[in-house]
């Protein structure tokens, strides 16, 4: 015997099954969506403050790197002007001296004897001139009375002129001898510091023998080579800033004083000479200096690190964070300066947040956020 189920009961059972299946499917969908939410958050790119630069107008200086060795602008070598025994050297290396200060002395015994002989020659020549002058006066009187001929008087006149010339020669020789006495005392030609002592007391020195070297450290010179392609932008008077070995981060300032008119043999470079004022005398000759020559100063410039600038198909662009996503912005960039900074001429505005590090290719529109580092106690 077959069991008969009413049609209405079957319809209700089918509907109940469909509703249950839909409920299960809905529950699975909700669960899948909830699981996808953390995944979406994990996919957002996170940037540290060190990865981002917020653009703000600033002063940009374009500079040309310069390196070279410092040398004193003024230095002098004290030499012996007369031969003789060196009896005194009053200073040593590192001592400060003033212009005109006595530095050394040469024995003057021979010089004094020579000067005494020249004085005697002057006295003898003076006596001869006096005698010749008297003879000329006498002969002139006799000539006026026609007691002597004109020829006899001319001989007397000639003897007088010879006596006068001999006196002048003797006086000149005496002046030379007296100057030699003065040259036996060696004085500082400039104010500065003794850098070398090249002779010792007791040595017999010849004329032009080197005794001492003096340098003036109040003004120094930096000689540096500039590529010929850049020399057109270098002008006398342009400022120079540089650092010197041994002085850490301290910066010194100077200016271009001279430009060599020709290139260095065998290269395409031209020497420029910067003068640095150092009134405290801290800088020393021979120190290595490294810095830059300021070629241009731009006020209100927007600047980004060179690493932030990308290039694709000949077009420069940068990545910025805007509205929680990464955006790719084309820009027009200027030349980089010596510090690795690039001026943005067009494409960005103050306040833009630019990705500064090369993190590879970033997807346009990718979600991104800035993560603030937390301080740890």
Question: Tell me, what CATH number does 56's domain have?
Answer: 2.40.420.20
Q: Are residues 321 and 292 in the same domain?
A: no
Residue 94 falls inside a structural domain:
no
Q: Are 191 and 98 in contact (CB under 8 A)?
A: yes
Task: Give the pLDDT confidence score for residue 33 in this predicted structure.
Answer: 47
Residue of 300 and 175 predicted with greater confidence:
175
Q: Domain limits at 243?
A: 65-72+216-298
Residue 160 falls inside a structural domain:
yes
Q: Are residues 293 and 224 in the same domain?
A: yes
How far apart (Å, rounded) are the C-alpha atoms in residues 129 and 126? 5
- 298, 316, 346: which is the final residue of a domain? 298
Q: Are residues 121 and 174 in the same domain?
A: yes
Give residue-wise pLDDT tens across range 113-138: 999 999 999 999 999 999 999 999 99
Residue 351 falls inside a structural domain:
yes
Residue 354 falls inside a structural domain:
yes
Task: Give the pLDDT confidence score for residue 373 in this predicted structure.
Answer: 64
Task: Give the pLDDT confidence score for residue 104 in this predicted structure.
Answer: 96
CATH number at 273 reads 2.40.30.170
Query: 228 — phi, psi (to 5°)?
Result: -60, -30
Q: Are residues 311 and 291 in the same domain?
A: no
Residue 99 falls inside a structural domain:
no
Q: Are residues 305 and 362 in the same domain?
A: yes
Task: Give the pLDDT confidence score for residue 222 in this predicted structure.
Answer: 92
Residue 284 falls inside a structural domain:
yes
Domain count across the chain: 3
Q: Over pLDDT 90: what percentage of the chain?
A: 43
Q: Are residues 227 and 174 in the same domain?
A: no
Query: Measured at the alpha carbon of residue 65, what is the angle toward residues 61 and 71, in degrees to the nearest 5?
Result: 120
Residue 192: CB atoms within 10 A of its CB come to 22
Residue 201 falls inside a structural domain:
no
Q: Are residues 223 and 293 in the same domain?
A: yes
Mean pLDDT for 303-314 is 81
Residue 375 falls inside a structural domain:
no
Q: Are 108 and 199 in contact (CB under 8 A)?
A: no
Q: Are 241 and 65 in contact (CB under 8 A)?
A: no
Contacts of 179 (CB under 8 A, 6+ apart): none
Task: Give the pLDDT confidence score for residue 136 in this predicted structure.
Answer: 92
Contacts of 177 (CB under 8 A, 6+ apart): 111, 114, 115, 117, 118
- Judged against a pLDDT cut of 80, whether residue 9 lies above it is answered with no
- Judged against a pLDDT cut of 80, whether residue 6 lies above it is answered with no
Local confidence band at 306 (pLDDT 50, 70, 90 cut-offs): confident
C-alpha torsion sign, points 9, 10, 15, 16: positive
CATH number at 141 reads 1.10.287.470
Task: Give the pLDDT confidence score for residue 315 in this predicted structure.
Answer: 86
Give residue-wise pLDDT tens across range 133-180: 999 999 989 988 888 889 988 999 999 999 999 999 999 999 999 999
Mean pLDDT for 289-318 is 82
- Judged against a pLDDT cut of 70, whether residue 17 lies above it is answered with no
Q: Are residues 345 and 285 in the same domain?
A: no
């Amino acid at each position: 015997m077959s069991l008969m189920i009413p049609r209405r009961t079957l319809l209700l059972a089918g509907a109940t099954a469909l509703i249950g299946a839909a409920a299960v499917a809905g529950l699975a969908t909700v669960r899948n969506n909830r699981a996808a939410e953390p995944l979406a958050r994990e996919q957002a790119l996170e940037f540290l403050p060190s990865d981002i630069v917020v653009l703000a107008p600033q002063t940009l200086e374009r500079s040309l790197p310069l390196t070279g060795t410092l040398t004193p602008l003024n230095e002098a070598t004290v030499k012996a002007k007369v031969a003789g025994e060196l009896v005194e050297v009053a200073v040593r290396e590192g001592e400060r001296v003033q212009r005109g200060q006595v530095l050394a002395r040469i024995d003057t015994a021979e010089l004094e004897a020579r000067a005494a002989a020249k004085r005697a020659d002057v006295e003898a020549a003076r006596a001869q001139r006096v005698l010749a002058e008297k003879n000329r006066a006498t002969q002139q009187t006799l000539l006026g009375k026609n007691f002597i001929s004109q020829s006899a008087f001319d001989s007397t006149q000639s003897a007088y002129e010879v006596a006068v010339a001999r006196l002048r020669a003797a006086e000149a020789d005496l002046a030379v001898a007296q100057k030699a006495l003065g040259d036996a005392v060696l004085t500082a030609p400039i104010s500065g510091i003794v850098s070398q002592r090249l002779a010792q007391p007791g040595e017999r020195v010849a004329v032009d023998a080197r005794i001492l070297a003096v340098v003036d450290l109040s003004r120094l010179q930096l000689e540096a080579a500039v590529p010929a392609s850049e020399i057109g932008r270098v002008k006398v008077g342009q400022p120079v800033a540089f650092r010197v070995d041994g002085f850490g981060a301290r910066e010194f300032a100077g200016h271009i004083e001279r430009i060599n008119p020709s290139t260095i043999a065998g290269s395409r470079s031209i020497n420029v000479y910067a003068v640095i004022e150092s009134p405290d005398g801290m800088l020393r000759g021979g120190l290595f200096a490294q810095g830059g020559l300021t070629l241009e100063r731009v006020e209100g410039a927007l600047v980004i690190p060179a690493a932030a600038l990308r290039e694709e198909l000949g077009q420069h662009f940068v990545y910025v964070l805007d509205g929680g996503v990464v955006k790719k912005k084309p820009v027009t960039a200027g030349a980089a300066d010596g510090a690795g900074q690039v001026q943005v001429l067009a494409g960005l505005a103050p306040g833009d947040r630019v990705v500064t590090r090369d993190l590879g290719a970033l997807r346009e529109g990718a979600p991104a956020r800035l993560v603030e580092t937390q301080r740890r106690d």
